Amino acid sequence: MGDESAERRPAGELEAGVLAALWAADGPLTPGQVQGALGTRLARTTIATILSRLYEKGTVTRARSGRGYAYTPTEDAPGLTARRMHSELAKDEDRSAVLARFVSQLNDEDERLLRSLLDGGEPRTDDRTGGVGSLDGPDGGRAG
Amino acid sequence: MIYLVWVPLLTPFLAVPAARRVAAALAPRHAAWLLTAVALVLAASSSAALALLVVPGASYLPVVAVLGELLEPLKAGPPAVAVALAPVAGSLLVWRTGVLAVAAHRGRAELRRARAAAGGTAGELAVLRDSRPDAYALPGRPGRIVVTTGMLRALEPAEREALFAHERAHLRGRHHLFLTAVELAAHCHPALRALCEPLRYALERTADEAAAAAVGDRRLAARAIGRAALAGREDRDRARPRAVLAATAGPVPRRVAALLGGSGGASGPGLPSRTGRLIAGALLCCVVLSGATAVGAANDLHDHIEIAQGESAAD
């Protein structure tokens, strides 16, 4: 990703990435750890600012950790209802009228095709992650 | 002539396959606009045509005659035909309206459920604690990106940015309006149903291209889509058995292939220019014909009504 441009992106968009990193982690993260997990050149102070803004909004909670804070995401919706609603939505995934899902269901042929597309054609070598060799182990490339 | 009224009811059977062919050769954003416009014109014309078929037969009913201040029934065709057609067209119209209302209601209910699931997040991102990978754009003011923890964990940070950029493109482009419009149009004429799938695909491709541009790496965007889809599959296979679908390439591999192919333009195999132009021409003819005949038939009927009301149709 264009790391230099990362600083120039709207604050809201940066928030999403930072929040996602907290959710993907197994425990509380300090700004430095978020920076490591994101693997971007986003300045630590920027991340700290974003985290404190998220804290003010109540999106994350924090606890003292050394000289700073470690942050944990808070559950948005009252858990149980939200989960039930989501289960209902997930059930008729392919019949949704208004929700544009990121990916639709795959059949066997799709899966085979997709794997060969992602594994096969490695047209360029400038990919910093080394292609998609770690397809089955998504954590392979994660820093931290 | 009263026969005009049949044209808008029949053109969708020709126009829809043509629209699909043309859309496949266009850039995704243009394809989305084309499919939506075609669906709306054809839906409006065919619904109008049905309504026009009801009127002549209905004019034989005393109530209608009184309300319409008609001195005699309309002479817009043989009386037996007019009387026989009216109830058929009328019940079709009522049935479609009902289906349309149910579909609109269902769409709203779905949105309500999605909003309830997303909760009252302050930010752009609503995260659901769920191991099943899922992500979608939740339209509204402001729109939200809903994503499960399962999805976040299945992707690398850079891939997550591609996912967010994809969903932002859906929200900014107000893609749900396109989807809703065509979904509802499809309830107006059975042939229009076949426009939904290409529209969905065109919208996904539009968002994919936006995501690729935002992260500045087409391959990264392709990988994000691929990995998200595969993660969902592995999870689903564990969760519940699923009927195996037809062995044609589904939308996800096509989207990934389109990103890896690096075109950024056509969402499918391009048409040979000559055939392409012919099909595009045929589509244009169908759509114009459909709209024009509906208007023509309405005009025609209006004249008949004026005659039946005892006015002269001199002009």
Q: What does the DSSP assignment read for A50-81?
A: HHHHHHHHTSEEEEEETTEEEEEEPPSS-HHH
Checking DSSP bridges between strand B144-148 and strand A68-73, what pairing results, if any?
unpaired
Q: Dump pLDDT digits (tens) for B167-177.
A: 999 999 999 99
Share of residues in chain A with pLDDT > 70 (%): 67
What is the reported pLDDT for A2?
A: 43
Contact between chains at A83 and B145 (C-beta distance less than 8 A): no
Best of B99, B128, B193, B245 to substitute, by most chain A Cβ atoms within 10 angstroms, is B128
Task: Decide if pLDDT at A57 tops 80.
Answer: yes
What is the reported pLDDT for B167?
A: 93
What is the reported pLDDT for B220?
A: 92
**Which residue in B125, B137, B158 is closest to A100 by CB distance?**
B137
Nearest CA distance, B100 vs chain A (angstrom): 12
Cis peptide upstream of residue B142 (ω within 30 degrees of 0):
yes
Q: Dump pLDDT digits (tens) for B94-127.
A: 999 999 999 899 888 888 888 887 776 667 888 8
pLDDT band at B33; cut points 50, 70, 90: very high
What is the reported pLDDT for B164?
A: 94
Q: Dump pLDDT digits (tens) for B55-81.
A: 888 888 888 888 888 888 887 777 888
Contact residues on chain A for B253, CB-CB shorter than 8 A: 106, 110, 113-114, 117
Cα–Cα distances (Å) from A140 to A120, B76, B156, B194, B215, in that order, read 19, 74, 9, 41, 20
Please state, in angstroms and rounded to a whole number, the distance separating the CA atoms of residues A80 and B31. Answer: 40
Kindly identify which residue of chain A lies nearest to residue B222, measuring between CA atoms.
Answer: A118
What is the reported pLDDT for B111?
A: 85
The better pLDDT of the pair B208, A106 is held by B208
Please name each of the domains of chain A with its CATH number: 3-73 (1.10.10.10), 78-121 (no CATH)
Nearest CA distance, A99 vs chain B (angstrom): 6
pLDDT band at B198; cut points 50, 70, 90: very high
Best of B130, B138, B153 to substitute, by most chain A Cβ atoms within 10 angstroms, is B153
Mean of the pLDDT values across residues A96-111?
78
What is the reported pLDDT for A66?
A: 85
> Highest-confidence range of A125-139, B33-47, B129-143, B231-245, by mean pLDDT?
B33-47
pTM of the model as a whole: 0.83
What is the reported pLDDT for B246?
A: 34
The better pLDDT of the pair B42, B240 is held by B42
> What is the C-alpha end-to-end distance of chain B, expressed in Å?
17
Contacts of B159 (CB under 8 A, 6+ apart): B220, B223, B224, B227, B228
Contact residues on chain B for A83, CB-CB shorter than 8 A: 117, 128-130
Task: Decide if pLDDT at B93 tops 80.
Answer: yes
User: For residues B309 and B69, is the Cβ–Cβ distance under 8 A?
Assistant: yes
What is the reported pLDDT for A141?
A: 39
What is the reported pLDDT for B155?
A: 92
